[in-house]
Structure 1
Amino acid sequence: MASFVHIVIYLPHQESSNQLIQSLLEGKLVIPRVDLTGKKAAEFSAGILDIFLQEEFLHGQTGLESEYQRPLHSLSSGEQKKALLNHLLFGKADYFILDELYDHVDLQGQASILATMKMIAETKPVIQLVRRQKDILPFIQSFHWYQDRSIHSFDTALDFHQYLDQHLAQNSFRPIPRAIKTIQAPTGPLVQMKQLCVSYDERPILDQINWTIQAGECWQLKGPNGSGKSTLLSMITGDNPKGYGQDLYLFGMKKGGGETVWDIKQFIGYFNPVMIQHFSRLDSIELMIVSGCMDSIGVYIKPSEMQLRLAKEWLDYLGLLALKNKPIQFLPAAQQRMVLIARAMVKHPPLLILDEPTSGLDDASAAMVIGMIEQIRKETKTTVLFVSHQQEKGFVPNKIFELTPCATGSTGTIV
């Protein structure tokens, strides 16, 4: 019988998993009744993945093999994680440290990873770092909470989960601020695509996609890693030149009919967690929200008094008015996301695209973001397109569009 235990450590959003991992590896932080002295760890984390990506960028190869037979940088986040886990399996580690094991991984991939981890758990101890309760591996035996550089342990799983439940955020938002001017989309569908096909270098991505998005609807876009969700979104935002010559209508305009990309973007609010990387570290959260009025990354002309007043209303709504001059990097992850969503919503666009808005967040933070999205649905006329692998508690879309990979490209189904 195994003489080791499998451990989970829950991290609130404000805590750094990198710092925790480093403290464990250096022996500066001790898990009660666990001795890691002299033992070699197999680290599964975003930091390790970044090292492989940097190696590929500098030298053209990583030493990290993938079942997809493509460069690591061309894989989706979930595919990259699968490749890293497979690589670690062949190492000679004494135990595994797993950080955000399932983040950005589709349900099929999660099932595959779970099967692999069950096999590993039979011979080696596992330390899992999580921010979401539902991600905890089923064979975990020892439960802990990490905060302020210390670990708090629980006697039972029940005590642990009850403690987490008490720390879930309770949303108490004020009414959604109104836009300066209403943006009226043309009558008819916001988005309509018929028999849409996309391929790259003779590799099919999307095959005969038929999808219509009407005003007032709330959709969730789902699909496994690499199924073409990002490609499909780029067709809707007008950024993808593959849309030319297709039966694709965006806000009443046929793609390639003489419209500019800005003619399309005026009707769209867009959010993606990686957007924060495009903003200068000196950008205040006030000016970040103002930039949503201008559809720009940053503010390059003097904002009007009305725009500044509207930004203050959004900051007051978020409870961040006192921090209006702070750079967004000073905020916790959940508040960063909500500022970026406010930026996308500041003009009350006919279509709001939210691409993985809760990825990487802990349970409490995800609940805050979902609460904001639900309020937007209830108090505005904006159509919401929510992109996520998973079903978030508290978010119930009207319709789901699911991509299914096939040899001829992913097909789409309304479920």
Structure 2
Amino acid sequence: MFKPFVHIQNLNLSYRHKAVLKDLYWEINVCENWVLFGESGSGKTSLAKVIAGLIPAQGRVEVDFDPISKLPAEVLFVESWYQFKNLEGVANFYYQQRYTSQQAKETLTVHAELVAYGKEKGLHLDQVEPILAALNFSSFASSQLIELSSGEHKKLQLVKALWLKPQLLIIDQPYTGLDVASRQNLNSLLDGISSQGVQLILISNDAELPSSIHSFAEIKDGQLITSAKRDLTSVSVEKHNRKIPDFLKESPVYSSNNIVKMVDVNISYGEKQVLKNINWEVKAGEKWLLQGHNGSGKSTLLSLVNGDHPQSYANELYLFGNRRGSGESIWDIKQHIGLISPELHWYFDATSTVWQSIASGFYDTVGLFQQLPYSKSAQVDALVEYFGLTESKNELLNSLPLGKQRLVLLARTIIKNPELLILDEPYQGLDQQQTQHFNQLVDELCSNGMTLIYVGHFESQLPTCIEKRILLEKGEVKVVESLNTKTRHCEVRSNLLHRTI
């Protein structure tokens, strides 16, 4: 009888006296590749970290590495997002720093990071080039780490993992921030290293998976449920029946019918042009989908709308009826906007509680630094209850599972019932049920007149209210189109699935 590659028995793990894993049992045989999926907070990431030896737990965890394999006898765990530091070893960046530090060399470049990683792991640089090309990442060699978007950071994580090819590779949310083509190429690369002996555990709720995946597991009440088919597991999506708080039923008070107007906008960093002659207009109450390849300029475009980019003053840009640079401050602009993005999540104040994090949305800060009046406190309490966060409201934000952290920041985004809602990859870390619940809320808010700019690569996660679409390609506008809302839900997903975006 063959010995299993991974053997887990009687595994127990608790956080703050709450049991997460309970006498969990799991055997992974040689050549098996798995997907671990299910509800946010069920313990998927914790189990992965235990297998990788990153956190302690009670019970038996054995990994039987192949002593004659040429692959490193190592379990590599790839986090859901990339944690990096500046050249002085400090990681306390602030949100706008990505756009204000282009001239300063504050972090390593992608090339320097790969050189350091290759030296640490004994890898040859020529072996990484095909991986960079397959993920369309070769052109980012000279980019500083702080300049990268969430999708580009995910690509850097994946490049390093695919380059190393450990005997066991565990990737948390492998498709986060990746465009359609990159997801397809990643699956091909994962199949490739699997054929070379790398065994995979992917933590993902996504439908698109490598063809080498044949086993599925879900954590339910601390136990592992395994299956040969995903649809035999117990994940279900039910309709969210909570009524939205009364203050969100009111239509936003618009200061102007013109929310955004860009006239021949150009953004460059030295010789690198990121946006080229952008012309775009968003009217009050419109619902837009913003799409494009990783690196197409989406994040830079949003930084102009949100008032974060210093080059906005050198362009003809109008926000909420006023030309940028006509006397308004960045805080005047942000008062009109509710924003969530992966970058904002990265840099959010780790010492804030759930309640404080939501309340900070009134002031557009990354922490709460003043006492709220009763009326605003009541609104925070209403959203805490609506999102099912009552038991966690006094806990630190970073102590929660990733999905619940994202729910907190989604609540922060809508707390002031803004004129403009900017949702940049809003559902990273959420399970299917949480995603559907928030989509219902977005649709209801938009039916009350809120303006929406939504950025997302996953067609299955789009709210139904979207009525217009802008597509960027290499910094230029390639498509601006209206979508028939009656047939959009079927047509746009069909169209997008067959386009390279």
1:411 matched to 2:477: yes
1:86 to 1:218, Cα distance in 2 relative to 1, 3 A: same
1:93 to 1:281, Cα distance in 2 relative to 1, 3 A: closer
Q: Which residue of the partner structure matches residue 358 of structure 1?
A: 427
Question: How far 1:369 moved relative to its partner?
Answer: 2.7
Structure 2: distance between partners of 1:279 and 1:87? 26
Q: Which residue of the partner structure matches residue 197 of structure 2?
A: 124
- Looking at both structures, which has the greater relative contact order when contacts are Cα pairs under 8 Å and sequence separation is at least 6? 1
Structure 2: distance between partners of 1:48 and 1:216? 33
Confirm or deny: 8 A CA contact 2:289 2:470 kept in the other structure. Answer: yes
1:304 to 1:75, Cα distance in 2 relative to 1, 3 A: closer
Match of 1:163 among 210, 222, 233: 233
Q: Which residue of the partner structure matches residue 19 of structure 1?
A: 46
The 5 Å alignment of 1:50-89 reads: 50=83, 53-54=84-85, 58=89, 60=108, 61-62=112-113, 63=115, 64=117, 67=138, 68-71=140-143, 73=145, 74-89=147-162
1:329 to 1:97, Cα distance in 2 relative to 1, 3 A: closer
Confirm or deny: 8 A CA contact 1:82 1:113 kept in the other structure. Answer: no
1:137 matched to 2:210: yes
1:164 to 1:204, Cα distance in 2 relative to 1, 3 A: farther
Runs of 5+ consecutive residues of structure 2 not aligned to the other structure = 1-29, 54-58, 90-106, 118-127, 133-137, 482-501
Q: Which deviations, in whole Å up to 9, do the C-alpha atoms of 1:126-170 show, x marking residues without a partner?
A: 32322314143233122222356653222x31xx3132443x353
1:72 to 1:241, Cα distance in 2 relative to 1, 3 A: closer
1:111 to 1:13, Cα distance in 2 relative to 1, 3 A: same
Structure 2: distance between partners of 1:365 and 1:81? 23
1:364 to 1:350, Cα distance in 2 relative to 1, 3 A: same
Structure 2: distance between partners of 1:371 and 1:25? 37
Question: How far 1:395 moved relative to its partner?
Answer: 1.6
Question: How far 1:239 moved relative to its partner?
Answer: 1.9
Match of 1:402 among 471, 477, 500: 471
Structure 1: distance between partners of 2:206 and 2:165? 30
Structure 2: distance between partners of 1:126 and 1:43? 11
1:334 to 1:174, Cα distance in 2 relative to 1, 3 A: farther
Structure 1: distance between partners of 2:382 and 2:165? 56
So what's the TM-score if we normalise by structure 2?
A: 0.71
1:4 matched to 2:31: yes
1:413 to 1:201, Cα distance in 2 relative to 1, 3 A: same
Which amino acid counterpart does residue 281 of structure 2 have in structure 1?
T
Moved more, 367-376 or 327-336: 327-336
Identity %: 27
Which amino acid counterpart does residue 343 of structure 1 have in structure 2?
R
Runs of 5+ consecutive residues of structure 1 not aligned to the other structure = none
1:338 matched to 2:411: no
Question: How far 1:213 moved relative to its partner?
Answer: 0.8
Confirm or deny: 8 A CA contact 1:100 1:360 kept in the other structure. Answer: yes
Secondary structure of 1:343's counterpart equals helix
Q: Which deviations, in whole Å up to 9, do the C-alpha atoms of 1:55-98 show, x marking residues without a partner?
A: 97659533256522224613333334334444444446334333
Confirm or deny: 8 A CA contact 2:354 2:393 kept in the other structure. Answer: yes
Q: Which residue of the partner structure matches residue 218 of structure 1?
A: 287
Secondary structure of 1:134's counterpart equals coil
Structure 2: distance between partners of 1:286 and 1:96? 37
Question: How far 1:192 moved relative to its partner?
Answer: 0.9
Q: Which deviations, in whole Å up to 9, do the C-alpha atoms of 1:240-271 show, x marking residues without a partner?
A: 12111322111110112222222322211112
Confirm or deny: 8 A CA contact 1:72 1:80 kept in the other structure. Answer: no
So what's the TM-score if we normalise by structure 1?
A: 0.84
Which amino acid counterpart does residue 174 of structure 1 have in structure 2?
K
1:43 matched to 2:70: no
Secondary structure of 1:244's counterpart equals helix
Match of 1:373 among 439, 442, 452: 442
Match of 1:115 among 176, 184, 188: 188
Which amino acid counterpart does residue 480 of structure 2 have in structure 1?
I
Q: Which residue of the partner structure matches residue 191 of structure 1?
A: 260
Structure 2: distance between partners of 1:275 and 1:169? 29
1:185 to 1:106, Cα distance in 2 relative to 1, 3 A: same
CA RMSD in angstroms comes to: 3.2
Confirm or deny: 8 A CA contact 1:273 1:337 kept in the other structure. Answer: no
Match of 1:294 among 338, 341, 363: 363
Structure 2: distance between partners of 1:72 and 1:28? 42
Secondary structure of 2:314's counterpart equals coil
Q: Which deviations, in whole Å up to 9, do the C-alpha atoms of 1:351-401 show, x marking residues without a partner?
A: 0111211113332332233233223223x3211111122223462311121
